[in-house]
């Protein structure tokens, strides 16, 4: 008697991507014309002509490699860029601009971290809600830190 093992069937069912958080990748040989929506993490090495954003009510981190190009607005939770964006950038939490990054457009973010060599052509607006939380934490810790200073009040007496 021979017993044949049943092959596992691959599912081709349509899954609603708004319910899935995962890692997505757009390679350097791919160009997309239109809007891109995601949840989780999206790494782009290619070119996108259109809006890049997270699904409503979801969170997402956008990573742009050195050769990545986005021509259009970006609205994400966090962003790490070493590529080029031409369009307004709206980052809810933290925006990290690495040495090869270029952003041509207005930037709104909670925390901005730039490294030497990064370029920003446009206005930059920090979100006071996110930065205020960080400032409150630093202020609370400041009472515990002892700094050495010298008295220079004698300089103002004349």
**Residue boundaries of the structural domains of the chain:** 21-133
User: What integer is the mean pLDDT of 43-70?
Assistant: 94
CA distances from 25 to 28, 40, 44, 65 (A): 10, 11, 6, 11
Q: Is 141 exposed, middle or buried (0-12, 13-18, 19+ CB in 10 A)?
A: exposed
73, pLDDT greater than 80: yes
Quote the CA–CA distance of 11 and 113 in Å, as a whole number: 42
Q: In the chain, pLDDT over 70 holds for what percent of residues?
A: 66
Helices (H) then strands (E): counts for the chain:
1, 16
User: What integer is the mean pLDDT of 135-152?
Assistant: 46
Determine the pLDDT at residue 43.
95
45 token code pair: 């090495």
Top-confidence residue, 6 or 112 = 112
- Scanning the structure block, which residue is given the tokens 């350097």? 28
Determine the pLDDT at residue 24.
81
């Amino acid at each position: 008697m021979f017993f044949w093992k049943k092959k596992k069937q691959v599912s081709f069912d349509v899954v609603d991507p708004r319910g899935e958080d995962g890692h997505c990748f757009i390679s350097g040989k791919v160009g997309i014309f239109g809007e891109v929506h995601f949840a989780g993490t999206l790494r782009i090495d290619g070119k996108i002509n259109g809006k890049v954003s997270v699904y409503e009510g979801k969170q997402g981190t956008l990573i742009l490699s050195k050769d990545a190009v986005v021509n259009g607005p970006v609205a994400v939770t966090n962003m790490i860029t070493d590529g080029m964006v031409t369009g307004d950038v709206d980052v809810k939490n933290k925006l990290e601009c690495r040495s090869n990054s270029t952003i041509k457009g207005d930037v709104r973010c909670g925390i901005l971290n730039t490294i030497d060599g990064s370029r920003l052509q446009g206005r930059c607006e920090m979100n006071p809600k996110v930065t205020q939380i960080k400032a409150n934490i630093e202020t609370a810790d400041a009472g515990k830190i002892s700094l050495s200073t010298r008295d220079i009040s004698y300089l103002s007496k004349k």
